[in-house]
Amino acid sequence: MIISFKLLLYCLLFAGAYLLLIDLLWSKLEQYLPMQGSFPKDLIEPRDIGWFLSAFIIEFLFFVLMPAVVYGWFYTVIPFSGIKGGISVGLYLIFFGILPMVLLLLFRIKIPLVFMLYQLLGFLIKLIGAMAIIGYLYSL
């Protein structure tokens, strides 16, 4: 299969811009909600620009770059396309990738459930939005 690098670049730009916008809004919302109140102070990293950039780069790799490349390889054989295809792939990644690990982590480490639900909701919004954009761009 041949990958269109121009289309891949558009996916990376638009989905990356969406991810950056949601990350900025999500981190601003996190400042107002007491999500980390029950954690010891020495375990919490200071939220500065370095922390934000490293978190954004990791999320960009796993929520935009890798799904865009994989979707680009397989979009011709996926039985659904467009925004529905992107959302379906995003939901699949959440349910079979992130959710089992979070549930196992919750049973092994005493992490507040509210914090983990907040993180899961953020991952869901970021991944579904990025995959919907990628699916839409590949359907054009």
Q: Tokens standing for 84?
A: 């529905």
pTM: 0.84
Per-residue pLDDT of the chain (140 residues; tens, 9 = 90+): 567 788 889 999 999 999 999 999 998 888 887 776 667 777 777 778 988 999 999 999 999 998 888 887 877 777 677 788 788 888 888 888 888 888 888 888 888 888 888 888 999 999 999 999 988 988 88
Q: How far is the C-alpha of 81 from the C-alpha of 72, rounded, in Å?
A: 11
- Return contacts of 62-65, CB within 8 angstroms, 24+ apart: 63/15, 63/19, 63/123, 63/126, 63/127, 63/130, 64/11, 64/12, 64/15, 64/16, 64/19, 64/130, 64/134, 65/12
Q: Tokens standing for 31?
A: 């400042």
